[in-house]
């Protein structure tokens, strides 16, 4: 186990007083454990929390490795995206698409550093009415192009038959309920923490809250194998493993692309594939996906893309 801070030590580490630490646990999601009767703070989780709340992301460290037919996608994971990459690689033998699972915030950071061609993200804005544009306005100039990959249904993944009777987020506060979590910087973790706050539940008080997994399928597997009674995730992951699902909301899952790379051949090939029947058949195999706007541009303040609006190469620059 890594280093554990006491309340006094973490207060000194963060440069705040001890009373503020308790506020940060309750309202800001500062990672903490009370297994010994006293608050303990794993240093590596505190460092991750600080990174996830960084206001100014670091500047460019790139560029993307040069290869005309290479497509690097990084950010939030999704089973449909992973299958689409497989179809792309099988269809275009002279191209190669690869994916790095970094979470939404990690994908945006990689895009800003020019370490990938495309970032996948579903970071909800504070008003809950839009996705991605708020953080892009703060951290990327010029802003990248935003193209929808799909809409997905987010919620709680629970065991087949729902033996614990979990019908809402509030039910997670009952005794005997164990959860699993997603990593800081992911859109699903952000949404989970918001849902817990709205239900009046402190995440740090939940058994298993500190158990973080890398992907939606990893979260679903924790439930399948009985290591958790519930996990935040998307309905298609639950469907794949024959699990039950308690819905929260539909969310928009987008691809973010630097405008100077928008017309690169592999990028255009991949975006073009999103409007084809082969991609739609992939999504049709599971509940919880909506691909009606897949491959279409998304603009700030619009819930749905205006399908009549197109942009020329010169407008994209």
| CATH number of the CATH domain containing 224 | 3.40.190.10
Within a domain: 58: no
Domain that holds residue 31: 4-52
Give the tens place of pLDDT for each residue, 180-192.
999 988 999 999 9
- Do residues 248 and 166 lie in contact, with contact meaning Cβ atoms separated by under 8 Å? no
Is the pLDDT at 269 greater than 80? The verdict is yes
Within a domain: 276: yes
Tell me the CA end-to-end span of the chain in Å, nearest whole number: 49
Span of 32-36, 183-187, 258-262, 287-291 with lowest mean pLDDT:
32-36
User: Which two structure tokens, joined as six digits, stand for 11?
Assistant: 């207060």
- Do residues 113 and 60 lie in contact, with contact meaning Cβ atoms separated by under 8 Å? yes
- One domain for residues 176 and 293: no
Is the pLDDT at 309 greater than 80? The verdict is no
Is the pLDDT at 195 greater than 70? The verdict is yes
DSSP per-residue codes, 159-223: -TT-TT---SGGGGGSTT-BB-EE-TT-HHHHHHHHHHHHTT--GGGSBTTT-EESSHHHHHHHH
Number of other residues whose CB lies within 10 A of the CB of residue 313:
9
CA distance 281 to 288: 14
**Pair type for strands 244-257 and 96-101:** unpaired
Token pair 């924790």: residue: 222
- pLDDT band at 310; cut points 50, 70, 90: very low
- One domain for residues 75 and 128: yes
- One domain for residues 160 and 219: yes
The total domain count for the chain is 3
Give the tens place of pLDDT for each residue, 84-133.
999 999 998 888 999 999 999 999 999 999 999 999 999 998 888 899 99
- One domain for residues 147 and 77: yes
CA distance 30 to 151: 30
Rg (CA), the chain: 20
Of the residues 230, 250, 270, the one at which a domain ends: 250
Within a domain: 26: yes
How far lies 99's CA from each of 9, 60, 112, 231, in Å? Answer: 38, 20, 16, 24
Highest mean pLDDT, choosing among 4-8, 17-21, 97-101, 137-141: 97-101
- One domain for residues 92 and 116: yes
- One domain for residues 203 and 227: yes
Q: The whole model's pTM is what? A: 0.76
Of the residues 250, 282, 306, the one at which a domain ends: 250
- One domain for residues 167 and 246: yes
Strand partners, 290: 151
Q: What is the pLDDT of residue 2?
A: 62
Highest mean pLDDT, choosing among 14-28, 135-149, 155-169: 155-169
- One domain for residues 219 and 298: no
- One domain for residues 264 and 117: yes
- pLDDT band at 5; cut points 50, 70, 90: confident
Is the pLDDT at 164 greater than 50? The verdict is yes
- One domain for residues 8 and 120: no
Within a domain: 272: yes
Within a domain: 59: no
Give the tens place of pLDDT for each residue, 26-62.
767 788 877 667 888 888 778 777 766 665 555 544 5
Within a domain: 8: yes
Is the pLDDT at 305 greater than 50? The verdict is no
Q: What is the pLDDT of residue 308?
A: 35
Task: DSSP letter for 144, please.
Answer: P
- One domain for residues 161 and 245: yes
Average pLDDT over residues 233-251: 96
Span of 51-60, 167-176, 195-204 with lowest mean pLDDT:
51-60
How distant is the alpha carbon of residue 169 from its chain centre? 19
Q: What is the mean pLDDT of the chain?
A: 87
CA distance 272 to 189: 31
Average pLDDT over residues 147-155: 97
Within a domain: 57: no
E-strand stretches of 218-297: 230-234, 244-257, 289-290
- One domain for residues 246 and 167: yes
Within a domain: 216: yes
Number of other residues whose CB lies within 10 A of the CB of residue 57:
17
Residues in the chain: 317
């Amino acid at each position: 186990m890594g280093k554990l801070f006491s309340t006094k030590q973490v207060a000194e580490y963060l440069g705040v007083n001890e009373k503020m630490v308790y506020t940060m646990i309750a309202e800001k999601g500062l990672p903490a454990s009370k297994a010994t009767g006293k608050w303990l703070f794993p240093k590596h989780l505190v460092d991750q929390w600080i990174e996830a709340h960084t206001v100014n992301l670091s500047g460019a460290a790139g560029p993307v490795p040069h290869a005309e037919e290479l497509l690097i996608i990084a950010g939030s994971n999704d089973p449909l995206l992973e299958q689409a990459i497989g179809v792309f690689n099988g269809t275009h033998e002279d191209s190669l698409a690869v994916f790095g699972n970094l979470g939404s915030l990690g994908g945006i950071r990689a895009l800003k550093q020019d370490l990938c061609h495309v970032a996948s993200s579903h970071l909800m804005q504070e008003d809950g009415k839009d996705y991605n544009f708020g953080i892009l306005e703060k951290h990327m100039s010029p802003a990248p192009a935003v193209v929808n990959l799909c809409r997905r249904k987010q919620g709680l993944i629970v065991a087949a038959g729902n033996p614990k009777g979990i019908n809402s987020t509030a039910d997670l506060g009952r005794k005997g309920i164990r959860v699993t979590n997603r990593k800081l910087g992911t859109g699903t973790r952000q949404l989970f923490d918001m849902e817990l706050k709205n239900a009046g539940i402190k995440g740090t008080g939940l058994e298993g809250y500190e158990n973080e997994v890398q992907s939606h399928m990893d979260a679903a597997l924790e439930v399948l194998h009985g290591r958790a009674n519930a996990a935040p995730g998307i309905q298609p992951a639950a469907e794949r493993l024959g699990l039950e699902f308690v819905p929260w909301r539909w969310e928009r899952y987008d691809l973010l692309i630097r405008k100077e790379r928008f017309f690169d051949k592999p990028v255009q090939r991949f975006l073009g594939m999103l409007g084809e029947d082969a991609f739609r058949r992939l999504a049709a195999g599971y509940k919880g996906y909506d691909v009606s706007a897949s491959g279409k541009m998304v603009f700030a303040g619009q819930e749905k893309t205006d399908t009549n609006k197109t942009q020329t190469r010169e407008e994209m620059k």
